[in-house]
Amino acid sequence: MDMNARRVVVTGMGVVSAAGNDLSSFWDQLSAARSGIRTVSHSDDNWGATPQRPERLLAGKVELAPLDGLPEMLAEPYLDDFSRFALHAAGQALAQAGIAAGTPHARGIGVILGTAIGGDEAYNQAAYRAYVKRRPPAPQTILRAMYNAAASSVTMAYGLHGPSMAISSACASASHAIGQACLMIRSGLAERMLAGGSEQLPSYVHYGAWRQMRVLSPDGCRPFCASRNGIVLGEGAGLLLLESLQAARARGAAILGEICGFGLNAAASDWLRPDAASMADCMRLALDQAGWHAGQVGFINAHGTGTVLNDHAEALAIRQVFGDHAAHVPVSSSKGMHGHALGASGALECIAALLSLAHGQALPNGAQHQPDPECALDIVSGACRPLAARRALSNSFAFGGLHAVLALALQPTD
C-alpha cells in the first residue's frame, strides 16, 4: 500500500483531563505548568480505607458536569466514567470539525478508542455487592465494564455508523487507536474516523495492585527530573477527528494538523523493564513512514512517566535516534500536569503536541526541573519556550513492551 496516497489530517479535537476539560483550558493549564494533580478522596466509599488503598490518594482526577441530551440507553446506570469522558471529548471534536450528529458526514464516521482498564468500577461495584452484600451484580455491569463501551457509547450518541472498535495495549492504547484509524483512512476503508482513548482512575482492587508494583509516586510526577520517584495515575479522554486530506478540503474544513507517520513495534523482552533500542526503532519507523529524517523534527512529546527506569531508557532512545541533533530538540512530558491517564495518555499527549505546534510554544515539562545527567536532553522546564518547528513526535511506550510513535505536522504541505 502506498501510505502517502491518502493523507490523514486532524479537523477536530476534544479533551477531558485533570488539566482542563476543553482545548482552551487544557492549553492554558499546560502552558502555565499548572498541575491538576492533587490529593483526592477515592470515589468508592463502600470499601473504606485499607493499607492497600488509603482513603486519600494523589491523582489526576477529572471534575466534569453531566452531559445533557443523551438517550435513555446512555443514562447513568449504563455508563462508567471512561464512557462519560469519551462522550464529552467526542462532542468537542465533532463540534470543532463542524460536523453535526445525524448529518451524512457524521453517519460514515468510524470510532476507534483505546483503554487500558475499561469500565473497572463496574466490576468493583459488582464484587462489593457479591462478596460483602451477598447480592447479585447489577444487570448493567457488563455493559458498563466491557472495553468497547466507550466506543459504542460514542457511536450511539452521535449516530456514527463507520467501522468501530476498541483497542487495549496498556499505555500505548490511544496512540495505537490513532495509528489504526490512520491506516483505515489511508486504505480507503473510511473517510473519517474519531480516534483516541479514554480512561478512568482504577478502582479499589486495581489501585491496590498498582501500589503493590511500587511504581506510584507519593509526592508528584516529575518526568526526567533527578528527583523523580514514580507515576501519578490520572484519568480523562482525548479524541481526534481524522479525515482524508481530500475529504477535509472538499467540505472546506479547517485543518489543525496532519498525522504523517505511525511507528509500532514490540520490545519482546520484559513485562516492565523498558528497552531503549526497541523504543528507538519505533521512533525510526514513524520517521520512515513520514518520509522524514531526524533533523526535521523540532519537538518531542515524550512518554515521560516519571519513573527512574522509563525516563532513562526513553532519553537514551532519543539520543540514539537523533544523535547530535538531540541536544537541539525540545522535549517535554505533560504527565506532570494531568497524571498518567494510561490508555488515554497517548491521545492527550498527541493533542498537546499539536497544540504546541499550533501555538508556536514548546510546552514545559513542569513547573520545576532538576536536570538528571542520565537523561541528557533539552528538557523544557518552568515555562513555555518559543517553537518555530512544524514537525513533532509523540511517544507512547507501554508495559509489556508495546510501543507506538506518532509523527505529527502542523499543516499539510503539497
* 3-class DSSP assignment, residue 308: helix
Is the domain defined by 8-251 classed in CATH 3.40.50.300? no
Cα dihedral across residues 377, 383, 389, 394: positive or negative = positive
Provide the grid cell at 224: 526526567
Domain regions of the chain by residue span = 8-251, 261-409
Distance CA 77, CA 243 (A): 33
Question: Mean pLDDT for each 10-residue chunk of the chain (414 residues)?
Answer: 74 98 98 94 52 69 89 89 98 98 95 97 89 92 97 97 98 98 97 98 86 92 96 98 98 98 97 97 98 97 97 98 97 97 98 98 89 94 95 98 98 70
Residue 239, C-beta contacts closer than 8 angstroms, at least 6 positions apart: 13, 14, 86, 89, 90, 92, 93, 113, 154, 194, 195, 196, 198, 347
Q: What does the alpha-carbon distance between residue 154 and residue 222 come to, in Å, rounded to a whole number?
A: 34
Q: Do residues 219 and 58 touch, judged by C-beta distance below 8 A?
A: yes
Question: Identity (one letter) of the amino acid at 249?
Answer: R
Residues annotated catalytic, as ranges:
171, 303, 340
Domains 8-251 and 261-409 share a fold: yes
Amino acid at site 11: T
pLDDT for 369 equals: 80
pLDDT of residue 1: 40
Calpha distance 247→251 (Å, rounded): 7
Predicted local confidence at residue 211, as pLDDT? 87
Whether this prediction's pTM lies above 0.85 is answered by yes
Helix (H, G, I), strand (E, B) or coil at 48: coil
Architecture of domain 261-409: 3-Layer(aba) Sandwich (3.40)
